Amino acid sequence: MKKTLLALSILTVLLYSCKDEDVITQNDLASTQATQDHLFAEQVFNDVGCIVEEGFVASGVNKSCASYTLMNADTSNADTLIINFGNINCLHNFKLRKGKILITYTGKYRDSLAVITTTFDNYHVNNNLVQGERVVTNQGRNNEGNMWFTIAVNNASINTANGTINWESTRTREWVNGMATYFDITDDRYKITGSANGTGVNNNSFSMEITDTLNVDLGCLPSCVIKSGTAKISPNGYADRIINYGDSLCDCNFDITINRTTYPIVVN
């Protein structure tokens, strides 16, 4: 009888232990942390790109809380544009910002072969410190007659309240609408392909590949500008996650599919 009770006790412990481990494992596998961190970094650097494009139009003019300083005394080398949000948080395009965005460029955004390099000096957006480098190169026109660009984000980091996101990205960007309206970026439309990699706030690495062209609509500003397309996130040690960027609405809602189960998330 004692042996029977002992065996039952051991079996009960094993069953509960397996059950608890199962729950932890399933929850862990269903985590969308890498996806959220990638989407957040992508959004931050999309926003930087919009700020820079606005800066070329608004150079020398105060706009919202930003001031613009253009330094081009020597026409034989690259020029510099400094977008300064000051040392105290101010509201610009519906986000709190402080610090400086520094842009050096060999030509304007529309100039073939122009290289535009963006770096940061204590730049914060919504109290997140942004560091790294963004390099845009105008590659001229493609076979369809559309202007296209390569965009590289190098050695980027975003210090958040939950930890640091490290992120790099390589993309091509085709300008498919809005070139005719120089002073209005809200009708600009782009198609994006490319890849990225990084490390999330949980220190786990991940990679990203765009699997269906992303469609960007700058008319969605200040919300998220990617309206449709899909990408695959591959966190180290876990199943692939598929990002569905939406159904052509201007919002920051995404559907993440993991092992045929879909999880809705919002990235602000």
Q: What is the pLDDT of residues 124-161, one digit of tens each?
A: 999 999 999 999 999 999 999 999 999 999 999 999 99
| Residue 114 pLDDT grade (very low, low, confident, very high; cuts 50, 70, 90) | very high
Kindly state the average pLDDT of the residues 18-29.
40
Q: How confident is the model at residue 2 (pLDDT cuts 50, 70, 90)?
A: very low
11-25, 82-96, 103-117, 161-175: range with lowest mean pLDDT: 11-25
Q: What percent of the chain has pLDDT over 70?
A: 84
Q: How much is the pLDDT for 221?
A: 87
Q: Over 50: is that where the pLDDT of 18 sits?
A: no
The reported pTM is 0.86
Confidence of residue 76 (pLDDT cuts 50, 70, 90): low
Q: Lowest mean pLDDT: which of 45-59, 78-92, 106-120, 171-185?
A: 45-59
Check residues 186 and 248 and name the one with the higher pLDDT.
186
Residue keyed to tokens 């919504």: 126
Supply the pLDDT for residue 29.
55
**pLDDT tens digits, residue range 32-41?**
999 999 999 9
- For 234-253, what is the mean pLDDT? 91
Task: Work out the percent of the chain whose per-residue pLDDT is above 90.
Answer: 69
Identify the band that residue 248 occupies on the pLDDT scale cut at 50, 70 and 90: confident
Per-residue confidence band for 8, with pLDDT thresholds at 50, 70 and 90: very low
